[in-house]
Every structure is written in structure tokens, then in C-alpha cells.
Amino acid sequence: MNNKTIDGQRKQKVASETMAATDKVLGAAKQFISFVNKCPSPFHAVDEVKKLLVAAGYKELRETDPWAIQPLDKYFLTRNQSTIIAFAVGGNFKPGNGFSIVGAHTDSPCLKVKPKSKTNKSGYAMVGVECYGGGIWHTWFDRDLTVGGRVLVKNNGSIEHHLVHIQKPILRVPHIAIHLMRDHNEKFGPNKESQVCPVLATSVQLELQGNKQEDDKKPEGQEKQCDKHQPALVKLICDELNISPDQMMDFELCVADTQPAAIGGALDEFIFAPRLDNLLNAYTAVEALIETDGSLKSDPNIRLICLFDNEEVGSQSAQGAASTLQELVLRRLSSGGSQTAFEEAIPKSYMISADQAHAVHPNYSDKHETNHQAGLHKGIVLKFNSNQRYATTAITTTILREIALKSGCPLQDFVVRNDSPCGSTIGPIMSAKLGIPTIDIGAPQLSMHSIREMCCTSSVSQAICLYKGFFEKYPEVFSSLKF
């Protein structure tokens, strides 16, 4: 074979390897997209995670039951149906051994239907909403919206929990025309109470179709749950669940975009999707847990994924990261050993607080610190903040860098500018509460907290790769620490 032929073959090999890598990256991104499309609310996210776990042989545990945990057991539990903790017990686990944890959150900023949402203005039937979390609310204007969430249903004396996701655009928050607001492009700042209220129908059409438009409210205490909302909205929900309005006890509904997530860009390299923050990490954490099943046998630790609700509003709730849930679970998993098994386990443990990170923005690059501009495709981002908005330390960084090196996962560093505000995560909350060494990381993205965010396709496989590497290699790297 001459040199030219060898060169040609080498090029072909590299090309086919790149193709295979691209296919893998795209395949993982598409699977994530299908997950995110099914999750308009934290309740849906928990339900979809549950389905993935059950298919992989995980069983449900209840907080109300006694537990008897054995090596190689695989379980999950939920709280409020919006937080889920899943764990796989290493084959060599004994109480007092460590916990390898990936934590993320199930909630995202959104509009939520108010407890009494029926609102009628200027001949429109509207739905009163609360602003949940720190959304970029102007991005919710002129989108084709729907609702998804949970409904508590009375059924022959029992009370059931049902999920609902109306699969068509039923709501819209219309913009004011530029002719009526000349400085629209300079300073559009909608009033969150009066100007972000979505339209559901017109009174004229409702009347034409025989819907009664009673505006007179029933006296306090006499109105049923269904009377508090637009009858047309109640009907859509009841039809979907096949129940009567009287059976509807209560609901929690998130407003969501109906436009499905998509692969985008001229080179099919972006993901345009709602709720990347933080369903990308919820999804990749569960995938990594499931995909590392084969190495569980030799693991001395328990591997956990903890996906909490209410991060976007500060985590202070019974199902949030600031609750006692995580500690209660870890204590129960440590039982059966010495009296101090839980306390012994804590310093052997490690938590990845996985939440989306800011990629450098091409049109606002001055908002980013010069030496720490995270780029798309360039790897998962380690987040540092000496003021402890992130829990990362030199030790937790060193451990993860070593794991990433052994697993072939690229990493990047991020620090916010001193003259810029900094977000936070469940990382500082949980590390302060439990004392577990923690690192804050995330995949780089743009448009964070917009109704439609943007990241790169590589993020999905890069996050799965890193979390898999973490579950499989953390105990070994931990044992190499000589201090």
C-alpha cells in the first residue's frame, strides 16, 4: 500500500468515527427532546423519570413504610409527586459507606394558574396566573400556550392524583401593537399582575356556543372548586380526564408552550427547547444511573439521583432541597451499622449539584468574565463562586477533574464577573445542611429562564458521560485522596 492509500484510509476512518460520534450525540439529544416534550410540569417530570426507572428494574418505596435495604437493591421514592429520589445500592455497600449523589431540580420558571383563575376583561374570558420563579416574562407573549399539571379527583369516596396535559394551544398572552406603544422596542416591561394574563376565549363565542357567562360570584364557602375557573378550561380538563366538574377537588397547572422542542441550527447542533434548566440534568442524571447498572456489583457506595421541586423559588418547601428529605433518606440508608454510620458516611460522600450554566453570549460577551467564557460543545461547566453562591471547592473540583479525565469528558470553568449578580443552586443549600463535599456544575446554555431556551446537542451525551464516570469512578478516586 502506498502512502496515499494509507492516508486515504486514515481519513476515512476518522470521518466514519466522527460520523458515529455525531450520530450518538444526535441520538441522545433526540431522546432528551422527547422527554422534555412530555414534561410541562414537575409532576410530569417525576412521572417520566419514574417510568424510566421502572423499566430499568427500580421499585417504588414509600416514606411511610419501614425499609430493609440490601446490596444491589434499586429503589425510588417521591414526595409531593414533584420530587423524586432514586438509588442503586452497590454490591459492596455496608452502612457507613459513602453516597455518590447527582442532584438537580424538576421545576422551571412558568406561569401557574391561580386558585381562583376565572377573569373576565373587555369581552374576553381569561385565566389568572401567578408568575412562578424568575422567568423572562416577555418571552411568554405571543406564544401558543397550553396547561399541564396535576388534578386531584374524587372518585367513589377515594381521592386520586391524575396528570393532565392539554395537547393543543388554548391560551395566549397577546402583545400590545407597536402602534399603541411606540417605545415597545425600547422598554417593554409588562406588569406581572395585569398584563401577563392569558386569553382563553371570547365571551361572544362562549355565548354563541351556549356557555353561560355568569359573572355573579357565589358567596364565599358556597362555590365549588370548578366554579373558581373558566368553565371552558374546566371542561377541557374534565374531558381529558373523563371526570365530571364536581369530581375536581383541586389542581396545580403550569402554563406551557405547545411548540415542541427541536434540533436546530444549520448543522443540527442546537437544542431549542423549554425547561433545559433543569430537565437536561434531571434526564441525564437518571440515564447515567440506569446505564451504569453493570458496574453496580463492585461499588462500595450507594448511587443516588435527587431531583427536587421548588429550586426556582429558593427550595424552601417540604419537597425542596432545603427540606429534611435528603437527610432522612441518607439516615435510613445508613441504618443497620454502627450508631454513627450516617456521620461516618458523610465525609466519604460527594454530591454533584447539576444545574444549567451560562454559555458566553455572542451579543453580550461583555457580560461574561474574560477568562471564563464557557462555550457550547466545549464540555460541562464547573461553577466557582468564593462567596459561596456555588458550593465548589478545590477538593471537589480536583476529584471531578480526575473522574472526567479517566472518563474522557471535557470540562470548562466558570466564574461570574465581580460586577455582575450571580445565580445560585441547590448545591450551597444541601452542602450546608448535610456537610457533603459538593460541586456545582452544569451544561452551557443561552436564553436561561426564557420560555424557549437553547443549548448544544453535545450537552446531553457529555452530561451522561460525566455522571456515569462519577458513579463508576468516584469511590476509587476518593480512596486516592491522602489527606
**Site residues (CB under 5 A) for Zn ion?**
277-278, 355
Q: Classify 206 in phi/psi space as left (phi over 0), alpha (psi -120 to 50) or beta.
A: alpha
What residues contact residue 225 under an 8 Å CB cut-off, 6+ apart?
248, 249, 250
| Adjacency order of strands within the sheet including 357-358 | 262-264, 270-273, 453-456, 444-446, 357-358
Here the cell at position 79 is 414526595
Written as nine digits, the cell of 436 is 457533603
Residues 123, 149: Cα–Cα separation, whole Å: 28
As a whole number of angstroms, the distance between CA 367 and CA 417 comes to 7
The residue among 277 and 287 lying less far from Zn ion, judged by its C-beta, is 277
In the complex, minimum distance from the CB of residue 275 to Zn ion, in angstroms, rounded to a whole number: 10
Is the Cβ of residue 355 or residue 402 nearer to Zn ion in the bound state? 355
CB of 323 to Zn ion, least distance (A): 17
For residue 97, give the nearest of 302, 335, 361 by alpha carbon.
302
Q: How far is the CB of 366 from Zn ion (least distance, A)?
A: 24
Q: What is the dihedral of CA 372, 375, 380, 382, to 10 degrees?
A: 10
Q: Which is nearer to Zn ion, 106 or 230 (CB)?
A: 106
Shortest gap between Cβ of 102 and Zn ion (angstroms)? 14
Shortest Cβ 356–Zn ion spacing (Å) = 6
Half-sphere exposure of 109 (CA within 13 A, CB side): 16
Q: Residue 42's closest CA among 151, 148, 161, 198?
A: 148
Taking the complex as a whole, the smallest distance from the CB of residue 311 to Zn ion amounts, in Å, to: 6
Query: Is the CB of 118 or the CB of 449 nearer to Zn ion?
Result: 449
Cβ within 8 Å of residue 362, ≥6 positions away: none
The least CB distance from residue 281 to Zn ion, in Å, is 8
Backbone phi, then psi, for 398, in 5-degree steps?
-60, -45
Q: Which is nearer to Zn ion, 296 or 381 (CB)?
A: 381
The answer to whether 293 and 73 have CB atoms below 8 angstroms apart is no
Taking the complex as a whole, the smallest distance from the CB of residue 12 to Zn ion amounts, in Å, to: 43
Shortest CB 105 distance to Zn ion, Å: 6
Q: Which is nearer to Zn ion, 379 or 442 (CB)?
A: 442
Least distance between Zn ion and beta carbon 163 (Å): 22
Distances (CA, A) of 437 to 2, 303, 478: 56, 15, 11
Instruction: Please say which residue, 296 or 357, places its beta carbon nearer to Zn ion.
Output: 357
User: How far is residue 55's CA from residue 40's CA, in Å, rounded to a whole number?
Assistant: 22
164 or 463: CB nearest Zn ion? 463
CB-based burial label for 230 (10 Å; 0-12, 13-18, 19+):
buried
Q: Which is nearer to Zn ion, 150 or 275 (CB)?
A: 275
- Amino acid at site 168: K
| 186: CB partners within 8 A, 6+ apart | none
Nearer to Zn ion, 47 or 309 (CB): 309
Calpha distance 327→274 (Å, rounded): 31
